[in-house]
Amino acid sequence: MMPNTRLGKRSPFGSLVGSSCPEPNKTSTTKATRAGQQGISRVRDHGDLKVPAGNNHKQKKIPESPRILFVSCQMKMSRRRRPRLIDSCLSQSQCCLLPQAYFQCGGAGDSQTDNVAQSTCCSRSISSCIDVPRSRTAQQEVDMDELMAAMVLSSLSCSPPPALQVSAHKQTAASSMDCGAVELSDNSSSSGYWSVNRGPRSPAPPSPTAEANGRSATPPDEGLDMDLDQVLFEEPAPRKRRNSLKVAYQCLWPSCGKVLTSLMGIKRHIRMVHLCQGGEHERCSHSEEDFYYSEINQWDEPRRQSPPSPPPPSPSCSALSRSAPSPCSSLWQVQSEHSYQAPPPSHTVSPAAATSCRLTAPPTSRQEPVSRVRSVSVGEQWLQHQSAPCRRIRSEAKKCRKVYGIEHRELWCTPCRWKKACQRFLD
DNA sequence: CTTGCCGGGAG
DNA sequence: CTCCCGGCAAG
């Protein structure tokens, strides 16, 4: 046999994933313990997948795409949802086990330190803000682990802050614009951004009064409806973006939902309206507003239906849940990222890819995205998917039972007769 | 409920 | 080894 390599029956990867559970005593293993071990190990095995390096032909390589998705989704999590572990990490002022260039979590939130961090921007000083590298030239091969972790923890550190003083804010805003511009012009894949094809620093910063009036002075015709049924999620591909693509940014703040077409506008809106309303300067770090808007891309089609005003938010919904796509669409978003998960039948991926739990080919390029939404909830969806393992989908493939029927059991292949995995109609 | 199939036992 | 089946999990 292959000890410690089987997850148990119906393992998430079709019995192809190793189990981290030691096999205590085969003969004395009761059903209950077996079942319990399965349940536990499934969840856990996604965390620490133990896939022996190619010593078993049945082993499948676990794709990296979930992480990529995770990064690209730029998961945003409210403090409420912060895992306790990370919470304790934050509370203890411990530097998280992350590349500090991406994220540092300091406990005190010293404003002086913040300033230092902003000025050096790539320094390794402890800061309560997210330390976004000012320039990462040609780092397209950024470690996805680091990115993922950075995204998670940076999002966690950016819980809704109360406010910031205006004077301090301007300084922060300036540097924020600076870094933001660099980041936008940077490769989008490195930061989870979808870079908007805008020249860096193109618009001059508007006057503070204009900023203050930004909420009401927003052109109302920029309201875009997030047609979540048609939301497709892709990896950033800015170069392929067509000219007809409209980009808008929706504020994810609870009870807001404002949509602006300008990145700076939405940042300014978030910063001014939501982040920096009271005091507490240190909570309002630059780049924090990145986590409170979501980019909406819409192809230039005459499909606008709704009035431009933002939809009335449901009072019971948080920003996360409000921005959450419907289960269907988010599922599709996730699935579209993972070739090993079957797409829903109504989308453009060919049905052949539906059985891609076997990890055959990467997902086909989908050429008809109508709109895209970077939203908080995709990360959560990803987490849910992580805990709901990639199971062996009941495929369309015929099985002996289906083909011949129970009455012709003698025609079945032997494994089918033995209630094993069918080997005649492999899918 | 059905279906696929893993784990395990009997011979 | 073959053969069979309990039982789990997904649909």
Q: What are residue A110's phi and psi, to 5 degrees?
A: -70, 130
H/E element holding A298?
Answer: strand A293-299
pLDDT at A388: 36
Between CA A317 and C1' C6 the distance (Å) reads 46
The neighbouring-strand residues paired with A296 are: A248, A373
Q: Is the CB of A7 under 7 A from strand B?
A: yes
pLDDT at A349: 35
Nearest protein residue to nucleotide B7 (CA to C1' distance) is A9
Instruction: Answer whether A19's CB lies under 8 Å from A41's CB.
Output: yes
Dihedral Cα A37, A77, A149, A260, nearest 10 deg: 140
The neighbouring-strand residues paired with A246 are: A298
The nucleotide lying nearest A418 (C-alpha to C1') is C4
From residue A250, alpha-carbon distances to A63, A97, A174, A259, A321 in Å are 31, 32, 22, 4, 14
Residue segments in chain A with a per-residue pLDDT below the cut of 70: 1-246, 276-291, 295, 297-397, 427
Q: Quick one: A298 exposed, middle or buried, by C-beta within 10 A (0-12, 13-18, 19+)?
A: buried
Which residues 25-44 of A interface with strand C at a CB distance below 7 A?
31, 34-35, 38-39
Cα gap A206→A174, rounded to integer Å = 11
Within 7 Å of a protein beta carbon, the nucleotides of strand B are 3-9
Between CA A37 and C1' C9 the distance (Å) reads 14
Q: How many CB atoms lie within 10 A of CB A315?
A: 7
The nucleotide lying nearest A11 (C-alpha to C1') is B6
Q: Which residues contact A394 (CB under 8 A, 6 or more apart)?
A: none
Q: Is the CB of A393 under 7 A from strand C?
A: yes
